[in-house]
Structure 1
Amino acid sequence: MKLLTLNCHSWQEENQLEKISILAHDIAEKSYDVIALQEVSQLIESETMSGFVKKDNFALVLLDELERLGITGYRLVWDFAHIGYDVFEEGVAILTKHDIVEEHRFFISKSHDQSYWKTRKIVGATISYNGRPLTFYSCHLGWWQDEEEPFKFQVDSLMEQITAESPAFLMGDFNNNAHVRGEGYDYLLSKGLFDTYDLAGKRDEGVTVEGEIAGWDENKVDLRIDLVLASEKFEVTSSKVIFNGENKPVVSDHYGVEVVIEGLSI
């Protein structure tokens, strides 16, 4: 099974359509089973296409680009968490080429006010993979030091709401550096989660953010904040950073993470 997670920084990038094309070509090449995307935005004023997904929804534009490449069959689960930059509905998404048994949408922040930029929402999809149910969540959490929206509260809320009926994968931007001890990353692992990076037979340095980005305005160090966590141990072949300028061109202010997992067949 091949997984990809990426904070897209959508519609904030220069040459955005070119970068969507780079992402689409990689998906066409790798044929990921599940893709988790964060900062998946659409203009508030855009035309609604289906449900509450609008014409310029980043994930919908990506699917259109995939279709131009002859790739069809990916299913989309999306919801918006909060208003971004006054003009966007910013959310999270799951794309999968497998049948979706159940969709999941829930808040994990204290705030449920979608006009407030710190409001956080999760989307998930339970899929049937080789006859086995597996659940994947696209996660975009807050910061360890935030007193208004404590990271611990968000993690506790997340863990209370994930389905216990199938193995779960939590994929996304957790906004807590895995290189720092005693803070958010260790708190995640204290919940019984396993980092696929640690389980991987092959892995690189894992750095997904370099320098200053939104939310890390004074950052001077390399960060590993984009993660693929699992509710149980799996045989992980590899964990690699992608879209970092070495493994594919840069497409966002975050790099992506691609994970290959074996041993999921029944």
Structure 2
Amino acid sequence: MRLLTLNCHAWQEDNQLDKIKSLAKTIKETSYDVIALQEVSQSINEADIDGNVKKDNYVLVLLNELKELGVEDYDYVWDFAHIGFEVYEEGLAILTKHKIEKRHSFFISQSEDTNYWKTRKIVGATILYNNKPVSFYSCHLGWWEDEEEPYTKQVDALHSFVQTNEQFFLMGDFNNDATIKEEGYEYLLNKGLFDTYHLAEEKDKGTTVEGKIAGWDKNKQDLRIDYIFTNSKIEVKKSNVIFNGFNEPIISDHFGLEVETAL
């Protein structure tokens, strides 16, 4: 099973359409089973064309690019979390080429006001893989030091929702660096989660952010803040960073993370 997560920084990138084409090309070549995307935006003023999904939704534009490449087997789940940059409805998405058996969308922040930029929502999809249900969640969490929206409460809410007997994967931008002790990363692991990076037989440095980006305005370090966690110790063949300028062109302020498992 091949997985990809990417904070795509939708509609904030120079040459955005070219970068979407680059993502579509890689999806076609790699044929990921499941893709988790964060910061998946659409314009507030666009008309709805599919439920709450609008014409310029990043996912729809990406799917149209895939169709141009002859790839039409991906279905998706998208939902709106909060207003971003005053003109966008920012959300999250799961794409999969497997039949979606169940769709998920739920808040993990104390706020459920979509006008508030710290409001956090999770979206997910359950599929059948080898005749067993497996769930995948696209996650974009806040920051450890935030007193208004405590990180521990967001993790607790997320963990409470996903506690089932089935295999699950938490994929996305968790906004906490793996090198910092006794903060968000360790709090996640203490929930019984396994970081697929550490399970991987083959891996690189794992860096998904270099230098200053939105939300990390004073950062000067290499960060590993994008993860794929799972709830059991599975075989992971490899974990590597993508869209970092070495392994495919840069297409966002975050690099992507791809994982291959023997699930």
Q: Deviations over 1:205-251 (max 9, x none)?
A: 00000000000000011100000000111100000000000000000
Following superposition, which runs of at least 4 residues in structure 1 exceed 4 angstroms of deviation?
none
Deviation at 1:130, TM superposition (A): 1.9
Secondary structure in 1 aligned to 2:127? strand
CA distance in 1, matches of 2:132, 2:252: 33
**Is residue 2:62 matched to residue 1:39?**
no
Deviation at 1:49, TM superposition (A): 1.1
**Is residue 2:54 matched to residue 1:66?**
no
TM-score between the two structures when normalised by the length of structure 2: 0.99
> Which one-letter code corresponds to 2:96 in the other structure?
T
Q: Which residue of 2 aligns with 1:49?
A: 49
Deviation at 1:165, TM superposition (A): 3.5
Q: Which residue of 1 aligns with 2:109?
A: 109
Q: Which residue of 2 aligns with 1:76?
A: 76
Q: Which residue of 2 aligns with 1:202?
A: 202
Q: Which residue of 2 aligns with 1:120?
A: 120
Q: Deviations over 1:63-115 (max 9, x none)?
A: 00000000011001000100001100000000000011100100000000000
> Which one-letter code corresponds to 2:248 in the other structure?
K
CA distance in 2, matches of 1:191, 1:165: 15
Q: Mind listing any 5+ residue stretches in structure 1 that lack a counterpart?
A: none
Q: Which residue of 2 aligns with 1:144?
A: 144
Q: What is the aligned length?
A: 263
Q: Which residue of 2 aligns with 1:189?
A: 189
Deviation at 1:163, TM superposition (A): 4.7
Q: Which residue of 1 aligns with 2:130?
A: 130
Alignment RMSD (CA, Å) = 0.6
Q: Which residue of 2 aligns with 1:161?
A: 161
Q: Which residue of 2 aligns with 1:9?
A: 9
TM-score between the two structures when normalised by the length of structure 1: 0.98
Q: Mind listing any 5+ residue stretches in structure 2 that lack a counterpart?
A: none
Deviation at 1:179, TM superposition (A): 1.1
CA distance in 2, matches of 1:156, 1:37: 22
